[in-house]
């Protein structure tokens, strides 16, 4: 059937007519795109996915020369980045007076750069942005379009082990003791908190609680290391968990690979670092008036109350 006819009041189309209709629809969509009639998508230029050390807005960066990465999106055919410039400051609203580092114009198509400014201060938030020059094959270099990014940030952590104020705390039981160690400490803070961070290093595994609520969503933290050479620590924003006046922090420890008690797993029970799980923690509070407070920096176990059950 090459034509259309009517059957019981309905119009019947042939297969060839349906195919032609589909082809015409595709042409009506693709042709304007190829001819550049739809500039909204074709001309879209953005610099996005700003990351520091491959993380989005990370806390606790200790690398003295952190890496910055980004992504250029341009709908024009053949568009590519030809240069970039990174600016870093301590104030998101003032990249002039509070500028820490300016990379200057770097002729490169790389979207990964390494910080090259003065030493970064610990416990500090830094803001950065990048402006990329993007051109198409038909453009001359000086005609490349500058595309600025939004502003991103990262926070430095301890940066040096000498900045730790706390000490290693354990329940001092034998390494073969089974029950998990639990600790709780109460402390007071005043009002007007601008921000608070918890820095916790653990030999073993841990769960951290502030005022009865678990901090973070990670489990089996921290990752395995050679504990006789290096111990990892985590940084948490605990600002919304604190309250003016009385507060409490709880820590529950687990053995993990630090104190592996099973004798059937690659002889980890004979590891030279084996001991009862322990932790070291600082809580640093910054107030709106610019002052600060460090909590959890006592001389040892007496700084905490051992809890036989529960840590809230």
Domain boundaries, the chain: 41-155, 164-306
As given in the structure block, the two tokens for residue 27 are: 């042409």
At a CB cut-off of 8 Å and minimum separation 6, what does 132 contact? Answer: 47, 70, 72, 81, 83, 84, 146, 147, 149
Task: Report the pLDDT averaged over residues 138-167.
Answer: 87
* Average pLDDT across the chain, whole number: 86
- Identify the CATH homologous superfamily for domain 41-155: Immunoglobulins (2.60.40.10)
109 pLDDT higher than 80: yes
Tell me: pLDDT of 2 over 60.
no
Report the C-alpha gap between 241 and 158 in whole angstroms.
22
- As a whole number, mean pLDDT of residues 170-177 equals 91
pLDDT for the residue 145: 78
Q: Compute the average pLDDT of residues 230-240.
A: 97
56 has pLDDT over 50:
yes
| Comparison of pLDDT for 230 and 77, the residue scoring more | 230
Residue 311 buriedness (CB in 10 A; 0-12 / 13-18 / 19+): buried
Reported confidence tier of residue 307, pLDDT bands at 50, 70, 90: low
CATH architecture under which domain 164-306 falls: Sandwich (2.60)
């Amino acid at each position: 059937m090459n034509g259309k006819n009517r059957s019981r009041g309905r119009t019947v189309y042939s297969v060839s007519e349906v195919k032609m209709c589909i082809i015409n629809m595709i042409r009506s969509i693709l042709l304007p795109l190829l001819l550049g009639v739809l500039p909204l998508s074709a001309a879209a230029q953005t610099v996005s996915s700003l990351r520091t050390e491959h993380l989005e807005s990370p806390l606790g960066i200790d690398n003295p020369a952190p890496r910055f990465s980004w992504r250029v999106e341009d709908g024009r055919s053949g568009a590519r980045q030809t240069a970039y410039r990174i600016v870093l400051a301590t104030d998101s609203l003032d990249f002039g007076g509070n500028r820490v580092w300016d990379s200057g114009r770097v002729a490169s198509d790389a979207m990964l750069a390494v910080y090259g400014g003065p030493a970064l201060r610990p416990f500090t938030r830094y803001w950065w942005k990048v402006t990329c020059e993007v051109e198409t094959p038909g453009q001359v270099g000086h005609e490349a379009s500058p595309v600025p990014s939004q502003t991103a940030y990262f926070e430095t952590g301890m940066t040096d082990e000498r900045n730790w104020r706390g000490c290693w705390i354990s329940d001092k039981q034998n390494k073969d003791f089974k029950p998990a160690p639990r600790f709780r400490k109460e402390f007071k803070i005043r009002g007007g908190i601008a921000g608070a961070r918890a820095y916790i290093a653990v030999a073993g595994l841990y769960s951290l609680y502030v005022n009865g609520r678990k901090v973070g969503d990670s489990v089996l933290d921290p990752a395995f290391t050679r504990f006789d050479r290096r111990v990892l620590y985590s940084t948490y924003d605990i600002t919304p968990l604190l309250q003016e006046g009385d507060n409490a922090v709880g820590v529950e420890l687990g053995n993990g690979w630090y104190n592996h008690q099973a004798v059937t797993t690659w002889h980890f029970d004979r590891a030279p670092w084996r001991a009862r799980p322990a932790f070291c923690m600082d809580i640093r509070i910054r107030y709106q008036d610019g002052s600060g407070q460090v909590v959890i920096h006592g001389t040892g176990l007496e700084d905490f109350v051992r809890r036989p059950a529960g840590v809230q």
